[in-house]
Amino acid sequence: MPMRHGSQAPAIGHPITNAFVTILDEDLRQCVVGQQGELCIGGAGVARGYLGRPEVTREKFIHDVWSDPGMGRVLYRTGDQAVMLPGGLLQFVGRSDRQIALQGFRIEAGEVEAVLMGDELVREAVVKRHDYESLGPRLLAFVTLRERARDSEHPVEEVRSRMRERVPAYMVPNQFVVLDEMPMTPNGKIDEKALVPPARSREELVADEQLTAAYRAPGTQAERRVAEVFADVLAMDLVGVDDGFFDIGGDSLAGVAVMARLEKSFETTLPTDALQQAPTPAALATLITGTGGAEQAPSSRDWTAEGRHELPFAAPHPMPADAPVLVTGAGGFVGGAVVAALLARDPGLTIDALVHSPAGGDRLRERLGRDADRVSILVGDLAQPGFGLPEATTRRLAESTRAVVHAGAQVNHFKTYEALRAENVEATSIAADIAWIAGGGAVPLVFTSSISVEDEEPGRLSPNGYARGKQIAERRLEDAAAQGLPVRVLRVGRALPARGGGAFNPNDTLQIFFGACLELGATPDWRFCEAAHPVDVVAAAIADAALAPDPAPGFEISHPPMAVWSSAEFLAALRRRLAERDEPELRTVPWEEWVALLQADGGGTAQRALALLSANDGAALTTDDAATTAAYVASIGAGEAGDWHGFDAAYYDMIAEELLGMHARV
């Protein structure tokens, strides 16, 4: 049932006598009950068109093939999004012309505006998409503030912070523009066309506490050029040489543009993780010119000391028979599946589920259905001491926890180790401390790591900030295991939709690449393979480790069962499903042409795919490496097991159907 920022969308009743109402999808096919689409009206009261406006008439008045004879043969497309409920009741969702497509999501502008105007500091709000020339599409909020906002030192940051608690991250505006008054039309309505964003100001970022570095002007020609590129791509008025790229609004999409411009300006090839190693103009200029080397850019650390962790004192205490399992990252793709798997194992089991926001907790409860009553939602922050939980909650966890599953992390391959350290390394130490205090060696810590740590030679740290964080976290846990903590590390590969049906991870590279193919109507000749597993197989292996009886102290590394996933097989499945739907076939184009199509497309999915290409080699993605992948899976002893025997045609068809439901064709 459609929801609007936590409440049910309004119902608007039934069709009146002599009127016919239906809901049509984007392809003008009738929606089933419960499916959202455009509200269309037919019947005796429908006009024949717009006087003197034949083009608009052809767009808005369509031939009616759905109603009974005698109701007229014309339907009017209202532009309203609605749902037909059981019994024929109509439910209004929003306006089609106010839907914003951004980074693969469809956002109702009115819904974001309603949340903003529900804030105590906001008087009026208009939300719209703005396409910066280099920065790409961004969600902007134009707001006027109430009088009480004068009492706040940083009102915009307060509003932004409260929004993060109420809506998913993709619905939080990237930029706020505060106005004294909204521009109005002669008819007394807000003039949205007059709402144009000003240049992004460094001064505003400092005022909002998004940027803390004092301004320092470029001192060399290289620093000057890098700062200019940062400012141009991020639409900033001024960039200092100590301003971090990600601190001033940079992300993976903007990173691609920065890298391309700098490589052209300096006639050089930069490593894919250059912005991770050197996120400021000063550090990046040093990396490019070679005056100091890349290793001077990030903070210098004693990596041996960084990999150690001393467990706290643990006073012996009895373990309650009904002690729950603590699962961090429970609102995530893998973490949510782990919660479901644990609950399915034992009807008497309860779970403390750590999530990042109340909205994440609501989504987890909805996913679990009746089993949600056995889950306590804990809203916390991995980057904070004690996960940011109240002291009483932390004390309860330490006194009554049966096992700790640490599945929480920030997955970002464009950030530095330092930027990810609190959430991905320090949080692992906190999870280990909770397990140790709770059981003194009787409570296991199950840690979800990544097979990306195996890309480097033993003892060598990865240049990728995310992978390095997993390496250091594993080293800390190995140190904790030597002190008596039972540690079970599961290195996870590509986690795909569950076997029984379910969504892709919204940030998964595969769904972004292939989603872009669907939206473009064209695809390269994909050949690459992945060591992968359905997320329910991953969750089952983690649940086994967490619930194993009498866990012995020690450090154990294993892998959930995995198999070779083939991009060529998946592409074939997509083509089968498209043929069954009677939809146009995907054109196969050369790699260079596909990249050019991505660059020409303004859609969010295409832009996300472009960003990911900076860390992926086109030649490798179009080369069949099934034998190499199979050899890797065999070498780590992670082959198919139990009731799962790898990826068959039925599974490829199922996830192809799921992907088709996520991405519209053009």
* pLDDT number for residue 616: 64
pLDDT band with cut points at 50, 70 and 90 for residue 96: low
- What is the C-alpha to C-alpha distance for residues 201 and 303, in angstroms, rounded to an integer? 37
Asked if residue 449 lies in contact with residue 560, where contact means CB atoms within 8 angstroms, the answer is no
Please state, in angstroms and as integers, the Cα–Cα distance from residue 389 to each residue in 355, 394, 427, 429, 501, following that order.
11, 6, 13, 15, 34
Percent of the chain with pLDDT over 90: 40
Residue 278: both structure tokens together = 């050197």
Concatenate the DSSP letters of all residues of 12-41 into one string.
EE-PPTTEEEEEE-TTS-BPPTT-EEEEEE
CA distances in angstroms from 225 to 217, 241, 262, listed in the order given: 12, 10, 8
Burial class, 545, CB count within 10 angstroms (exposed 0-12 / middle 13-18 / buried 19+):
buried
Structure tokens at 77: 């497309």
pLDDT of 4: 37
The residues, ordered by sequence, that sit 6+ positions from 225 with a Cβ below 8 Å of its Cβ are 262, 265, 266, 285
For the segment 265-320, what is each residue's pLDDT rounded down to a tens digit? 877 777 777 887 788 999 998 888 765 433 333 345 788 999 999 999 887 788 88
φ and ψ at residue 328, rounded to 5 degrees: -90, 160
Alpha carbon distance 646, 656 (integer Å): 16
Quote the pTM value.
Answer: 0.61
- Whether the CB-CB separation of 350 and 375 falls below 8 Å is answered with yes
- Single-letter amino acid, residue 77: R
- Nearest in space to 278 (alpha carbons), one of 306, 299, 254, 309: 299
108 φ, ψ to 5°? -80, 115
Please, which pLDDT band fits residue 8 given cuts at 50, 70 and 90? very low
| Per-residue pLDDT tens over the stretch 399-416 | 899 999 999 998 877 666
Instruction: Tell me what percent of the residues of the chain surpass a pLDDT of 70.
Output: 89
Most confident of 487-491, 587-591, 655-659: 487-491
CB 274 within 8 A of CB 415: no
Q: Which pair of tokens denotes residue 254?
A: 């903007």
